[in-house]
Amino acid sequence: MNSRSTTQKKRENDVFSRSCQVIGLIGMLSFALGQAGQASSDSGADQGGDVPLSRVSLCDWQYDYNFFTGKKAEKGESSVPCDTAFDRNVASGPGTDHAPIPPKNEKSLFEAELYSIVSGYPIEAMVPVIAEYDRDIAGLIVGIAKKESNWGKRVPRTDEGDDCFNYWGYKGAGVRGTAMGHGCFGDPAEAVHTIGNRLQELVALRKTSEPANMTIWKCGSSCATHSPESVRKWIADVDLYFRQIAQR
């Protein structure tokens, strides 16, 4: 008698559980069809056709179904039609309910920050190369270029009038030698790498990137022949942009 009662009770529980599953599935299906109908009414009239459920919506519905019923994926079968972020981006776009997520990385964000500072000046073309350096070096590159050339608006040029891409008053020779007493670089990348690498050496030597310790760039080996006021002004002007970049 007890065994029969237990069996009967188990059957009743199974029937109740399956009934709940059926009710839940009917509810989800009704919601999905309602979403499709809404999409059709919103855009079908304009486009002259039916609007099917997006692939992402189907993915979400399949996931809910599997979760609710406890369905496990068979061997070699995915439990969700698109279960990776990549698939969801592929499924996005016009007619879907998910927009693609553009890739972002630290360098691209840093480039955008630099562009916002130097926009409209010739040095703008050098931003991708400047962004290869850390913030301290990049801050010095930008700060010194502002002081020495107004970011490329006062520069040495070849006899033919071509830009030497020397925005830092650097006197060492570039691949095109020298022009007007300063180095003449072959392209923006050579210019930035020459300056950036030299600044890295100075920072390592002095164990600081503070503009106050970089006056060798203005004075050479000694500032004795420069007025204290001009030295202070150089430091202050370079420091202004150095702080904007290095301390963020």
What digits encode the pLDDT tens for the residues 34-50?
A: 555 554 454 444 444 44
pLDDT for residue 51:
45
> 117: which strand partners?
none
Q: Which of helix, strand or coil describes residue 73? A: coil
* Dihedral sign computed on CA atoms, order 20, 22, 23, 27: positive
CA dihedral 71, 77, 82, 85 (to 10 degrees): 110
pLDDT of res. 12: 61
Full DSSP string of 189-245: HHHHHHHHHHHHHHHHHHT---GGG-THHHHTT--TTS-HHHHHHHHHHHHHHHHHH
Computed over every residue of the chain, the mean pLDDT equals 77
The model's pTM: 0.59
Can you read off the two tokens belonging to residue 160?
Answer: 């033919």
Can you give the residue ranges of every domain in the chain?
Answer: 2-90, 107-246
Model confidence over 74-110: pLDDT tens digits?
A: 544 444 444 444 343 444 444 444 444 444 577 889 9
pLDDT given at position 99: 44
Q: Is the pLDDT of residue 4 over 70?
A: no
Sign of CA dihedral 54, 60, 62, 68: negative
DSSP 3-state of 50: coil
Compute the average pLDDT of residues 129-147.
97
Both tokens of 81, joined, read 């039609």
**Separation between Cα atoms, residue 162 and residue 155, nearest integer Å:** 10
Within the chain, how many helices (H) and strands (E) appear? 10, 2
Q: Which residue has the higher pLDDT, 213 or 1?
A: 213
pLDDT of residue 70: 54
Distance CA 167, CA 183 (A): 10
Where helices occur in 40-187 by DSSP H, the ranges are: 45-47, 55-69, 85-90, 106-118, 127-130, 135-149
DSSP H/E element including 48:
none
Over residues 59-88, the mean pLDDT reads: 48
Range name among 45-49, 130-134, 215-219 with the lowest pLDDT average: 45-49
Cβ atoms of 136 and 210 within 8 Å: the answer is no
What pLDDT was estimated at residue 108?
Answer: 87
Contact in structure between 119 and 185 (CB atoms under 8 Å): no
pLDDT at position 21: 61
Helix, coil or strand: residue 179 = strand
